[in-house]
Amino acid sequence: MNKQFIFCIQHQNNTLKTKKTNHPKNQPTTQQVFHIFWFYRCCSLSLKTNMKKILVTILLLSVFAINSKAQDNVSLTMQYQRMMEKVISRIPEVANSTSNKIMDFAKSLLGTRYRYASSNPEIGFDCSGFVSYVYKQFGFSGARSSADFAKKGKAIKLADAKVGDILVFTGSNARVRRPGHVGIVYSKDADGNIKFIHSSSGKAKGVTITDLEGYYKNRFLKAVTVME
């Protein structure tokens, strides 16, 4: 309430406290009627003024809220777009539908035990036995050992390797730089980090998925592709 409204109330209270006159009971004097009329007029003007102020304030707040919400929506849209770009960039790279099928089949053999010189899933795989068995299901044959894959496959840069391509390693002694182990690229992220699937005679004692780092990175010889 403003000063005018407060003054009206105070003035009306003072008026009502005035002494009674000889006028008939319950009949206000002309002066009292005037004061009452003036009081309600003041109240009316004051309330109208305050209402206008309130309405203007509400309108301004609404405009600011709409603008703020629009900016927030734009901001959220940008954040969502960046988030989706980041997620998509982290999805493992896939060469084509054939590589997908190869990898789906290879994954179905996870846990198959290691068996030296075997390409029979009933009794187990050695490293090259596993790779040759997988690729045989997709029409590629003629390579049985890690040395065969190193020779028959088309050499590619490791940076260009895709899901389904073949990685050739040395044997357990990395200083002897000749083929002795082989695996298939399982995944490759946006940073170039590779996982490969292979039949290991080590701790896993069978078909497993391993990061290409450390021990195996030191043993890495070449990457080859046998897919068209």
pLDDT digits (tens, 9 = 90+) for 93-124: 444 689 999 999 999 999 999 999 999 999 99
Return the CA Rg of the chain. Answer: 43
Which has the higher per-residue pLDDT, 109 or 30?
Answer: 109
Percent of the chain with pLDDT over 70: 58
Span of 32-36, 153-157, 165-169 with lowest mean pLDDT? 32-36
- What is the C-alpha separation between 59 and 39, in angstroms, rounded? 30
**Confidence at residue 82, expressed as pLDDT on a 0 to 100 scale:** 73
Q: Do residue 132 and residue 72 come from a single domain?
A: no
**For the ranges 7-16, 26-35, 175-184, the one whose mean pLDDT is highest:** 175-184
Q: Do residue 82 and residue 105 come from a single domain?
A: no
- What is the C-alpha separation between 19 and 17, in angstroms, rounded? 7
Q: Do residue 46 and residue 116 come from a single domain?
A: no
Q: Do residue 28 and residue 52 come from a single domain?
A: yes
Q: Do residue 28 and residue 76 come from a single domain?
A: yes
The answer, yes or no, to whether residue 7 has pLDDT greater than 70, is no
Q: Do residue 56 and residue 141 come from a single domain?
A: no
When the pLDDT of each residue in the chain is averaged and rounded to a whole number, the result is 77
pLDDT digits (tens, 9 = 90+) for 31-70: 554 444 444 454 444 444 445 555 545 555 555 555 555 5
Q: What CATH number has the domain bearing residue 123?
A: 3.90.1720.10
Angle at 106 between CA 103 and CA 112, to 5 degrees: 155
Phi, psi of 134 (to 5 degrees): -65, -50
Q: Do residue 65 and residue 107 come from a single domain?
A: no
Q: Do residue 135 and residue 201 come from a single domain?
A: yes
Query: What total of structural domains would you count in the chain?
Result: 2
pTM over 0.85: no
